[in-house]
Structure 1
Amino acid sequence: MAVVAHAGLATGSTEYEEVLGCLASLITQKVRTDTGNRGNQWELMAKYVQILELEESIAQLKVVHVAGTKGKGSTCTFAESILRSCGFRTGLFTSPHLMDVRERFRLDGLSISEEKFIRYFWWCWNKLKDRTGDDVPMPAYFRFLALLAFKIFSDEQVDVAVLEVGLGGKYDATNVVRAPVVCGVSSLGYDHMEILGNTLGEIAGEKAGILKKGVSAYTVPQPEEAMYVLMQRASELGVSLQVVQPLDPQKLEDQPLGLHGEHQYMNAGFAVALANTWLERQGHLNRIHVKHSGTLPDQFIKGLSSACLQGRAQIVPDPQVNSENDKDHDSSLVFYLDGAHSPESMEMCARWFAHVTNKDGMQSGSLEQPHTDRDSRKFLLFNCMTVRDPQRLLPRLLDTCAQNGLQFEQALFVPNQSQYNKLGSLASPPSEREQIDLSWQLSLQKVWENLPHGNKGLNDANSSRTSSVFESLPLAIKWLRETAQQNQSIQFQHLDILSCASRVFGPLFPQYKVISWTCRIECQCITFSAVTVTDSYVFFGSIPHWRVAVDISGCPGFP
């Protein structure tokens, strides 16, 4: 998978860029702490649904609805993959996206095509533009995307729609679904406190807003304060809220989960409960087959092992450094990517990183198998939004790494903005160099430098320079590549980059359309619609268990 894009490559369709521009216009500039009229604003969703005449369509969707602080996206991905493996046509709506807004809308496990996305977008956009004004403004960005998801899933006649809550629950745009088949609340923690509240009880109350009378509900082990609120709300609705335990790995018949990290067994167990209840309520339990007593149905195992979600505990060997090195050398550059953005998620991220780097090689069954070594040099590539508190994030991450004997040689801080003007990654880069505000990255660096060296696992001899600020992600990647290539004589010379930077994935994985060239195919399997471009490689969209690369070095427009 690519990590840097060539700025000179022509991109995307003009109409799709127009769509992205329209979407960008829906991003509200209101500060998140302006929460006084959330209820009134949410009531506008009913008006939007009426304008689009989606009331009946939404009512007919067979929905799995999931809220939570941590793990809801992974849980939804697992649940969708399980039900798809059972033979159902699936729709999956998640957020955020990494490379392209179309990733939020999956049909049968694949991002919606550009052609379909454009068609459904204009259908919704034009109807809303004609009927909105001062009294009923155009919906904000996420609400529009939720409405678009309902339209897509209805017209595409999916058997099941798996919906991940965007933020909170009670006032989330997805909560216009009045009668889901099953719903659940994943692990709760402190996040979006400026909107959801300052206590776990308040946050749990918001998440519990998706629970419905007569609808089966599940959750996972929660802190006492949060569990009390969830149970109280369930009792008020007359719902039995069942608590799910982590999945026993032995039930997978030696198959690995498609999403890595020990915490994913909790999400997998949660997804199994949701999927099984959906099948039961829809009268489809006859579709599943258990081969051995004490294991999951075959379709469940297949779904859990083939689930794919980019940016969550994802390992990406750098194609440029790894391809240029002699086989006689052991140097390589490997990126360990995760979107952790809460203290609890940071701990899980660090534990996963320690697990895969403290043993020689990755988890079995993974597509990419770079040789990793616990003595390899490790760098931290980090960024977080300004609403996050680095004083809570960085110590949790580093303490967990230190407990597992991991040492970061240096921390690199980069801004989260890409060099592109529009929401999607197909927008053209600006023609002139823009001044980039690095004040936040310098603040992050200061937090890092003020941490005790013991927290970073560094000896005093190595502490003369423990961090750097780069003005862009491509520059940071360039420096890492050069560092890797300059040290080929060192045995097991690897650079393990743990990127837990929230919202840094957009510029990390820019997507482009391929201009027709004669290229050497390294391996091929099936046709893809989305590709990623680096300085000398094109990598086709990620599909579990497949990887396709095209060498475009020497092609027109490339050095």
Structure 2
Amino acid sequence: MPAVAAAFAVSPTPPNRCPPHIPYPGLTTTRRPVDSPPTPISRPSSSSPFFYLSLKGRSLLALVCFRLPSRRRLPTEMESNGVMSGKTPDLVLSSSYEAAMRALSSLISGRKRGEPPKRDKKLDLIFNYLKIIGVEKSLPELKIIHIGGTKGKGSTCTFCEAILRECGFRTGLFTSPHLMDVRERFRINGLDISEDKFLYYFWDCWNLLKESVDEDLPMPPLFQFLTVLAFKIFVSEKVDVAIIEVGLGGRFDSTNVVKEPVVCGITSLGMDHMEILGDTIGQIASAKAGIFKPHVPAFTVPQLPEAMLALEERASELMIPLTFASPLDPSVMNGLTLGLAGDHQLINAGLAVALCTSWLQRTGHAELTPNDNPEEGLPVGFLRGLSTARLGGRAQTIIDKPKMLEQIPYGNSGDLIFYLDGAHSPESMEVCARWFSSAVGEAQQFVKNGFVKELGYSSLYENKHSSESKKASKKILLFNCMEKRDPQLLLPPLVDICASNGVHFSKALFVPSMSVYHRVDSGSSIVAPNTPANLSWQSTLQRTWDKLIQEKDLVNDNGSKMQKLGKTHEDFTGEPLEKCVPVLKDLSPSAVVPSLPLAIRWLRDYAKDNPSLHLQVLVTGSLHLVGDVLKLLRR
């Protein structure tokens, strides 16, 4: 099946409407009636340019696509314009990926983050959207696993998807948010949906909904549209199982249009989104339990007593079993390690095993489930899934090898290692601190977790490992969080837990994110490094950090006392790089850096100029920040 080429002839098109489908090369472009089904995408065959490549020593399958030369017509200047005069642009005739991103961006509501959403008839509207795109009657065919919670939702979903895929099922996975590209939210058989298929399904849904909107049925906001799109993709791709992660809360979440899941799960609960879900852990748990359904078993993990009581009350109302899933016993892994790093993943893995076991039993595949005898370990499919699961931005480690260092002989440059975790709540920050403390103390942790090998840097590290003991170590914190978060709740547990494990930060760098919250970017989109930024929030974070360091009277890695005052962004804004780099060399505990690209450049130059240095950078506080760093490191 050739790659989709988007070549359109100019013809009369209604306002705010994109071409009804994306034609394949050699096919005539025709308009199909609105009520007719979309042209199906055929499955790859042995003669197709798609083929599956088996990775040596691993059970994952990588989908490789040879793209034919694209005949995509570039949008005109008028089509490329963003929102003008407060109106949604007419996205006519352009099938480009960037046009799809602009269309998605037009769905971002003007509601401020933290403002309670309008809940009246929300789920009814989503049912109407599903009817319009023709999939509402097909949802039960997806055999859904529905997972909510505060911490570990994405990890548990990822484990479930990997387990069932390794058991031989065609899987669909819908998670949020994305880090670099919106297509990350939609995975088929463990792979992000291709750009061509995404465009095909996106414009089909967009056009059908655009034709049907009126005063009583407006276009759905962003997350509702993405939820509807996910169901369209999974139904059309005929997956055997769809693993659906709740976006926010549970009862009023867009994903709760699922009325007949096979099984439901609730991960660890904590105090988050209180402005929407409630001020107590009991209220939050009650909102999360809103995904429970009659006749559908539910599973959860160790919870605070008040949270557990709320979950049990909801399960009792529906007369359904609520089963406690114990953390996974490492002994059942037959010597393998989990694909996701951190001891906390044993909790998520235990829940995933319970959910997948229930799913297999209820769908007629009990022969694939684990034995009751724990001494026999887990089935091969479970072991492969748990050990090969991957989720970016959560306890992820990357050795940086920028192009400018490729020609530098070994020994003439220091190491630069990034530890990335999107923790953004007090509870998740505690987990992040424990993981980072453990990871920096285990020299080959990043080789074991697989990410370095996927990037092709494992040999680089292994060749250098013998001289690691000769290198000094510096820990740097690269931090940002959203303004609705309280840094006085986020930073203390990070500092306290790291310090209790003998891990001390030489410096904290506070940077603005490149991502913006009023636009959906593609994976290649990046804000220019010299884009002016309001750094007042980063200055607030810095003051919080400096006060914390002063109160704790902490020391540097070398045992010397930290200075009490950090560098503000006014000290460095507008300065050339060679004058800014010394900020990393002095003993000041913190600095506000004008931009993230500049911070990465400083770190790289500092590592390059210090061959005896082992520079370990923890990136945390926001998934947006983590995604931006990944863009810069991998582009």
Category of TM-score, reference length = shorter chain: 0.7 to 0.9
Aligned partner letter, 2:152: G
TM-score, structure 1 length as denominator?
0.85
Change (3 A) 1:330 1:508: closer
Percent identical pairs in the alignment equals 50
Counterpart Cα distance in 2 of 1:153 and 1:240: 28
Q: What SS does the aligned partner of 1:499 have?
A: strand
Q: Contact 2:529–2:596 at 8 Å: present in 1 too?
A: no
Match of 2:381 among 289, 296, 299: 299
Change (3 A) 1:436 1:253: same
Change (3 A) 1:215 1:116: same
Match of 1:424 among 511, 518, 521: 521
Match of 1:478 among 598, 601, 611: 601
Aligned partner letter, 1:240: P
Aligned partner letter, 1:410: K
Counterpart Cα distance in 2 of 1:40 and 1:131: 17
Counterpart Cα distance in 2 of 1:141 and 1:172: 13
Alignment partner of 1:117 is 2:198: yes
How far did residue 424 of structure 1 move?
A: 2.3
1:333 corresponds to which residue?
Answer: 416
1:468 corresponds to which residue?
Answer: 591
Counterpart Cα distance in 2 of 1:205 and 1:193: 12
How far did residue 506 of structure 1 move?
A: 3.3
Match of 1:233 among 303, 306, 314: 314
Alignment partner of 1:445 is 2:542: yes
Q: Deviations over 1:76-118 (max 9, x none)?
A: 0000000000000000000011110000000000000000000
Q: Contact 1:85–1:300 at 8 Å: present in 2 too?
A: yes
1:506 corresponds to which residue?
Answer: 627
Q: What SS does the aligned partner of 1:408 have?
A: coil
Q: Deviations over 1:150-208 (max 9, x none)?
A: 00000000000000000000011111010100001000001111111111011001100
How far did residue 47 of structure 1 move?
A: 2.0
The two structures, once aligned, show a CA RMSD in angstroms of 2.4
Q: Contact 2:405–2:608 at 8 Å: present in 1 too?
A: no
TM-score, structure 2 length as denominator?
0.75
Q: Contact 2:114–2:276 at 8 Å: present in 1 too?
A: yes
Aligned partner letter, 2:219: M
1:366 corresponds to which residue?
Answer: 449
Give the 5 Å matches for 1:347-366.
347-362=430-445, 365-366=448-449
Aligned partner letter, 1:474: P
Match of 1:395 among 482, 485, 492: 492
Q: What SS does the aligned partner of 2:200 have?
A: helix
Match of 2:134 among 53, 57, 62: 53
Aligned partner letter, 2:417: V
Counterpart Cα distance in 2 of 1:435 and 1:330: 32
Counterpart Cα distance in 2 of 1:501 and 1:324: 34
Match of 1:97 among 173, 178, 192: 178
Counterpart Cα distance in 2 of 1:504 and 1:246: 30
Counterpart Cα distance in 2 of 1:109 and 1:456: 44
For structure 1, the 5+ residue unaligned runs are: 1-11, 512-530, 534-559
Q: Contact 2:476–2:618 at 8 Å: present in 1 too?
A: yes
Which has the higher mean CA deviation after the structures are superposed, 378-387 or 410-419? 410-419
Q: Contact 2:554–2:562 at 8 Å: present in 1 too?
A: no
Give the 5 Å matches for 1:59-138.
59-138=140-219
Q: Contact 1:91–1:107 at 8 Å: present in 2 too?
A: yes
Q: Deviations over 1:331-354 (max 9, x none)?
A: 200000000011110011110111
Counterpart Cα distance in 1 of 2:512 and 2:529: 18
Which has the higher mean CA deviation after the structures are superposed, 54-63 or 171-180? 54-63
Match of 1:146 among 223, 227, 247: 227
Change (3 A) 1:275 1:429: closer
Q: Contact 2:160–2:356 at 8 Å: present in 1 too?
A: yes
For structure 2, the 5+ residue unaligned runs are: 1-71, 75-95, 453-457, 564-586
- RCO (CA 8 Å, sep 6+): is it higher in 1 or 2? 1
Counterpart Cα distance in 2 of 1:31 and 1:474: 27
Alignment partner of 1:205 is 2:268: no
How far did residue 323 of structure 1 move?
A: 3.9
Q: Contact 1:399–1:456 at 8 Å: present in 2 too?
A: no
Q: What SS does the aligned partner of 1:462 have?
A: coil
Q: What SS does the aligned partner of 1:246 have?
A: coil
Q: Deviations over 1:245-265 (max 9, x none)?
A: 110011001111000000001
Counterpart Cα distance in 1 of 2:601 and 2:126: 45
Match of 2:396 among 314, 318, 324: 314
Aligned partner letter, 2:630: F
How far did residue 428 of structure 1 move?
A: 5.6
Q: Deviations over 1:305-332 (max 9, x none)?
A: 0000000100000012764543335720
Q: What SS does the aligned partner of 2:248 have?
A: coil
2:244 corresponds to which residue?
Answer: 163
Change (3 A) 1:86 1:429: closer
Q: Contact 1:322–1:332 at 8 Å: present in 2 too?
A: no
